[in-house]
Amino acid sequence: MEHVISDIPWARRLKLRHLEVFLLLTSYGSLTAAATAMHMTQPAVSHWLKDLEDLVGTQLLVRGRQMRLTETGEALRRHAERMLGDVRRTNEELEAIRTGKAGQLHVGTVLAAAPVLLPKAIARLQRETTRVTVSVREDTFDQLLEQLEKHELDVIVGRLSDRTLRLGLPCEILVEDPICVVCGPQHPLVSRPAPSWHDASSFPWIMPAAGTPMRVRLEAAFAEHDLPVPEPAVESVSILANQMLFREGPYLGIVAASVARHFQALGLMAVIALPTIVRGAPVGILWRQHKPNAVTQRLLAVLREEAKAILHGGLMDQAL
């Protein structure tokens, strides 16, 4: 039976404290730092580590000035992160039941991917499902994937690159949202009748980090016009920071078309009408379980419905 672990000798003796100590050691890389973080003595930390290694029957960390994981230790680290993540989430769900809440959701997003879609979905979910708490984390997509892997997130809303779609995680494309080149309303290119990519290449650029889906698409656009990719003056995905930079100088940047139109309507950004639209990776959702709980399933359904409403209502020009 899957629910009985009597055939795993060490499992019944395993304690959560073993995993906590082990993960802190892998994080800090030293007994001293881990002991300080846990308010324990170094001998006590060493004892917990040795006890865990005795339980599993093999070395997990190579001792030295900087501890490093063995192959077995690396495998245990991945599972330990998920196990502790599940314990936290189990506690949240039990507490929600005890207090009469519908539940708690942890959603990760790259703000530029769906600045109106996600808030619309959350607001609708909370109108329809009383006493549900939603925690939204904004980060790079790679960081969000890592948090999903650790079971710290339930859902990610963002751009799904080809690489992401090949990860094997449950995922779904919701909508296409092209990428626009933007600047401040006072930028010299705003008044130019037919700006070109060559014109754009001569101004300072604010770009996402190298290797990110939007950066890759931008670099491809320059390549399509036989132009070298400009060296970024600033690397940033912060909408607020970028918008302030647009006010201070002749910077160019890229955002989703829905984001651009939203800020253009507020008079905070202008869209540069370059001859080729930069196609962005589609906006979609990923989740960590093939059978998510009821409140997660409801959020996924609401996200799908809101995306359809935006498309069918012709609201792409407003926002996603």
In whole angstroms, give the CA distance from residue 92 to residue 133. Answer: 10
Question: What is the reported pTM?
Answer: 0.68
Q: What pLDDT band is residue 236 in, cutting at 50, 70 and 90?
A: very high
Identify the sign of the CA torsion 164, 166, 171, 174: positive
Q: Who has greater pLDDT, 163 or 188? A: 188
Structural contact between residues 180 and 257, judged by C-beta atoms closer than 8 angstroms: yes
Domain residue extents for the chain: 11-80, 101-176+282-317, 179-272
The second-level CATH assignment, the architecture, of 179-272 is 3-Layer(aba) Sandwich (3.40)
Stretch 88-94: mean pLDDT, rounded? 84
For residue 1, the model assigns a pLDDT of 47
Q: Residue 155 contacts by C-beta under 8 Å, 6 or more apart in sequence?
A: 105, 106, 107, 108, 285, 286, 287, 288, 292, 296, 299, 300, 303
Which is more confident, 268 or 115?
Answer: 268
pLDDT at 72: 94
- Cβ–Cβ < 8 Å for 31, 45: yes
Which tens digit of pLDDT belongs to each residue from 39-77? 999 999 999 999 999 999 999 999 887 889 999 999 999
Assign domain 11-80 one CATH number from 3.40.50.970, 1.10.10.10, 2.40.340.10, 1.20.1440.120: 1.10.10.10
Distance of CA 233 to the CA centre of its chain: 24
Same-fold call for 101-176+282-317 versus 179-272: yes
Q: Name the percent of the chain lying above pLDDT 90.
A: 50
The predicted structure's pLDDT at residue 62 = 92
| Beta pairing class for 206-207 and 234-235 | parallel
Residue 95, pLDDT score: 82
User: What is residue 134's predicted lDDT score, i.e. its pLDDT?
Assistant: 93
Mean pLDDT of the chain: 87
Residue 277 has a pLDDT of: 65
Q: What three-state secondary structure class fits 144?
A: helix
CATH code of the domain made up of 101-176+282-317: 3.40.190.10
Q: Average pLDDT, stretch 117-145?
A: 90
For residue 315, what pLDDT is reported? 44
> Does the pLDDT at position 231 exceed 90?
yes
pLDDT at 160 over 80: yes
Distance CA 57, CA 151 (A): 27
* Cα–Cα distance, 105 to 125 (Å, whole number): 11
Strands (E) located in 139-287: 155-159, 171-175, 179-183, 206-207, 234-235, 253-256, 270-272, 283-287
pLDDT value at residue 320? 34
Q: What is the pLDDT of residue 317?
A: 45
